[in-house]
Structure 1
Amino acid sequence: MSDITIIKTDNPGTLPDENSLGFGNYFTDHLFEMDYNPQDGWHNPRIVPYHEFSVSPANTTLHYGQGIFEGMKAFRTVDDRVVLFRPLEYLNRLNRSADVLCIPRVDVDLVHKALLKLIEIEKNWVPAKQGTSLYIRPFIFATDPYLGLRVAENYKMAIILSPVGAYYAAGFNPVKIRVEDKYVRAVPGGLGEAKTLGNYAASLRAAVDAKKVGYAQTLWLDGIERKYIEEVGAMNIFFKINGEIITPALTGSILGGITRKTVLEIAKEWGFKATERRISIDEVFEAHAKGQLEEVFGTGTAAVISPVGELSWKGEKLIINDNKTGEFAQKLYDYVTGLQYGEVEDKFNWVETVTKA
């Protein structure tokens, strides 16, 4: 594959107010892109000024959804370095999603190199305020102009960047989650384990219904027995019961979150019993009734750690830890964000420096 071509904009923008970034509202000056066809494979990697894509009305992704994406972050540390958190984990997961969607795998080393260069070029877009970051969105979509249902032959990969604030309006405060008992998002053997378009489209209707009655997100149950907990719309879920940290096992219908993996590794390092297994919604409510449910929290790249203060299921409301952030969730949040902002020693070698102060 050829070297990465770099074409810089003649009209660079400026970082918006760090106090009002929101999430996904602003985009940097440049993007990375490359193309795939059967003759050349992945080719023409380039960093170019941010621009719109032109696609055929018959584009197969528009009709059949053969697309995947990722989400990771760059941070500005307290000593003014720009760093990435576990970037290779995310890029390898992109290839796992590609396998599920019959999309050609990318060269992770090349994309990693391109990402580092893109972040270096856009370093001034990385905000410095605590709680902010530069969100990184790699994605791949089919580009065939064809209405027949088949695996596409041509693809485009791109990486765009967006300076962001907190994912939830509540910030790091307990959120209210409604357990979904009507709709189904995914089943084993389907697309649930891939970070793909259809998974998120399948979650929208339940999310809208939940927000109408005051809940921030939906907690999904399994699509077969409708009793085992899977994940929240935008994050994995954890329960602290009698001192044990429990999260649903990866059975093929939920996403293997990188923050989920991070929390499991940290919990074990701290000496907690951290378990991946099937856990039913009945077990959670029973644990609460016995006074054994100590904390519930979500994990994800966007929110990092999100404490849950209330669960609602079939009209019954369960208040967790008096609707206060739990000690373990707080400790996790402080530790992970401390790693990301350079305030905590990186014993795990998870942080990669892009630019030095």
Structure 2
Amino acid sequence: MNNQIMLAQATPPGGIILRVRNLPGGLVGAVIEGIDGPNVVLEFSENGVNGWSAFPPPLSLSTETYMRLTRTDTSNAISTIRLTAPVGVTGALDGEGHLVIEGLTPVATGDALDTLADRVTLLEQTGGSGGVGGGTPGPLALSVSPGAETASISGSPTSRQVRRLRIRAQAACRPQLIERIYLYASITAEITGMNVSDAEGNVLFDGAPGSVTAWNGLFTTINLPNPIYFGRVGDTIYIDFSADVPMDTFPTTQTAAQIATTAYSATNTSYSGMLVASLLPVLTAALDGPLGHYSLPVVQNPTVDPPLRGGYWEVVDSDSGPRKIRYSNGLNWFSATLTQE
């Protein structure tokens, strides 16, 4: 969903401070994609008082923090901060009373659409029987994981010539499905390969990225061909480039970060310092009926209260116990332990 924050004038001394909260309607899960008009400096702090670190878009607001907006331009031009956030679903009824959701397009076309139409027809004719399921369907549930980021930027950067980059999950990270990687660098060289493996060395993905998009000479977005389950301690991503890529590293301790980065030269020598990166999770949907390969939200801690009227599923993947699949009917939770076949 597209949203905007607009500033029509310069901010007061000290800027405007917003709290990023993980609540309905909050900013956790939002992705700030860019700024139109006069520049606005985006800074973040854990306590909203000190320790502010500037971070230009695009970036994912994946943890609870404080965001400070500062605009010094005194013109009448409007600054627009563009962001997308899975905070709700809006739409309008068409002429036949069907809800058309903004920003979404049908996923069933051709033969798949015919099959879906046949299922609906049979369901209507049999009153919910006929082997196609029945009852009242639960509402659509959208869920997004918190993502993962390196530590906040601090200190003076050092320019490096990077041929290979390693991203490794730390203890503060959590298992989740990721689909995009943000790098604080403008990558013009070709990405010759990406390899994702777990702590035991099992290969999770080995191939080329789905697409690579540079933004404003500051950031590069790497889209994976398919979502990858990543986040257990030791899970590792390697990205190889066809030529040296100039990147800045920062003298920041990464031990408490969600992910740690290491840059390598053409001779496979590691550089000291952290390269800024973040992992963007998949927006998942939980629906009644048959479930797709990436349908269920993956959570580290079980959801305490049923968030919907019913029809909500989730997978609990925690280091403290076996994986579970859970279902909420709006009043109670039901769960089953998953065992490896």
| TM-score (ref. length: structure 2) | 0.24
Q: Which has the higher helix share?
A: 1
Q: Which has the higher strand share?
A: 2
